[in-house]
Amino acid sequence: MDVLVAAVLPTVVKAEPNGIFQLLAKLNPPRNIDDATWSQMTFVERVRNYNYTLELVALGISISYLFFQYASRGYNKSAVKKFMKRVKPSLATEFAQVGVTSKKLLQKDSPCRFTTYATGRENVEGMIMRFRLKDRYNLVPFISSFFNPSLGSVDGLGDHVDLTITPFQKQKIGPGIFSVVNKQFISELQAACYFYKITKLADNAQLPSAAYALMLEHGDQTKLLLTDELLSALALPGADKILRFMAISDIGVKEPETYKDLEPEPVVTVSMSLPTTEEEFTAASKLILAAIHWVDILTESEGFGPGAVKKIQAARDVEHEKITKRINALKQEELDQKKAEERREAARKERNLSEKEQRALQKKEERKQSRKQRQRMTRKA
């Protein structure tokens, strides 16, 4: 066989002694073969004697990278499935359906984003759970996250889940903002969520840990929403490690820009890190149930009380006034722009007029100004 190959390729091999094999030989020299001998070797001999170290290293790196991609994507999905497996029994006692459909539990939006849904419950229109995990399959940000936790993760929060619970009878709940927050996230929340900027920070002796604080609009809200169920959930081991905040708010995350944005749209939101221990999974289930039961309390109660309602409405009036000022400022800006455009157009036309026409236009403007001056003098008199 070697003789046959050599008979077919001798001219090709010897015609290009400095071809691709010579270049590869310089980068990755063959084992114990000098250049003169290498240049005289046939194709098959070169294949047999070639040093494949670089290729094997490159192949190993490629296989390792593909394995890393597969493993990291699988880890993210496994983490979400594990969370749902632990909390689904609790959710099944509250909702008729837990999952995107009756046959599909999770919707994979991307390798680090998942969504699920729960519906079929009195007082609750629905609950959406959005999972955001580390971008593990992206090697550079993932490695960087070990030095800076905000890198390599969606929103810089690491593996976490956000729940949004929409009440069915929103008109019965009315306006109001009340939240239990983990103190280490207060600055981030005030920067990211507008409704936290119009609340006050308060400690409460009933809170089971110094890690928690309340952000609310009126003290009377605690009588209704700081329930025994919630306090018990907050006291569970691991709760303070996973909970970022739990809130009820009628104002969205972004600052209201129109009057429609101020219309009460109350929702309950919960944000927590994905649990990793059995204690944290238990705490997560209890916190979610406490948030769901907030909707029942607010729907079936008579509100926060007259003092709280009055103060909350005053705060909404302030927001309404801000929007009015913003709209008036925009209108004035548009009017100023229109006047400036008219002045530019008048100046352009004036440059195109003859000397006689310019004098006539100037006299017309002087008469106009004189008439305005007489009218001002008459009003003063």
Q: Mark whether 147 and 295 lie in a shared domain.
A: yes
Query: Angle at CA 303, nearest 5°, toward 296 and 193?
Result: 80
In a domain, 152, yes or no: yes
What distance in Å separates the CA atoms of residue 142 and residue 108, rounded to the nearest whole number?
20
Kindly indicate the confidence band of residue 17, based on its pLDDT and cuts at 50, 70 and 90.
very low
What distance in Å separates the CA atoms of residue 256 and residue 239, rounded to the nearest whole number?
32
What distance in Å separates the CA atoms of residue 295 and residue 314, rounded to the nearest whole number?
24
Query: What confidence score (pLDDT) does residue 287 get?
Result: 96
Q: Mark whether 280 and 317 lie in a shared domain.
A: no
Q: Mark whether 291 and 320 lie in a shared domain.
A: no
Query: Angle at CA 347, nearest 5°, toward 345 and 348?
Result: 65
Q: Mark whether 115 and 40 lie in a shared domain.
A: no
Least confident of 13-27, 28-42, 207-221: 13-27
Q: Mark whether 111 and 6 lie in a shared domain.
A: no
Q: Mark whether 245 and 111 lie in a shared domain.
A: yes
Kindly indicate the confidence band of residue 187, based on its pLDDT and cuts at 50, 70 and 90.
confident
What distance in Å separates the CA atoms of residue 270 and residue 247, rounded to the nearest whole number?
6
Q: Mark whether 322 and 205 lie in a shared domain.
A: no
Q: Does position 9 have pLDDT exceeding 50, yes or no?
A: no
Q: Token pair 């020299």 is at which residue?
A: 29
Q: Mark whether 138 and 225 lie in a shared domain.
A: yes
Question: Which of 144 and 172 is assigned the larger pLDDT?
Answer: 172
* HEC assignment per residue over 218-278: CCCHHHHHCCHHHHHHHHCCCHHHHEEEEEEECCCCCCCCCHHHHCCCCEEEEEEECCCCH
Residue 283's alpha-carbon distances to 44, 235, 273, in angstroms, are 67, 9, 12
Kindly indicate the confidence band of residue 42, based on its pLDDT and cuts at 50, 70 and 90.
confident
Question: Which of 136 and 127 is assigned the larger pLDDT?
Answer: 127
Number of domains in the chain: 3
Q: Among 304, 328, 359, give the residue marking a domain's end.
A: 304
Is residue 284 helix, strand or coil? helix
Range of the domain at 316: 311-380
What single letter denotes the amino acid at residue 304?
Answer: F
Q: Token pair 């106009």 is at which residue?
A: 368
Range among 61-70, 79-88, 146-155, 314-323 rated most confident: 79-88
Query: What confidence score (pLDDT) does residue 154 get?
Result: 46
Query: What confidence score (pLDDT) does residue 254 get?
Result: 83
End-to-end alpha carbon distance in the chain: 121
Kindly indicate the confidence band of residue 156, based on its pLDDT and cuts at 50, 70 and 90.
low
61 burial level (CB within 10 Å; 0-12, 13-18, 19+): exposed
Is residue 206 helix, strand or coil? coil
Q: Mark whether 269 and 371 lie in a shared domain.
A: no
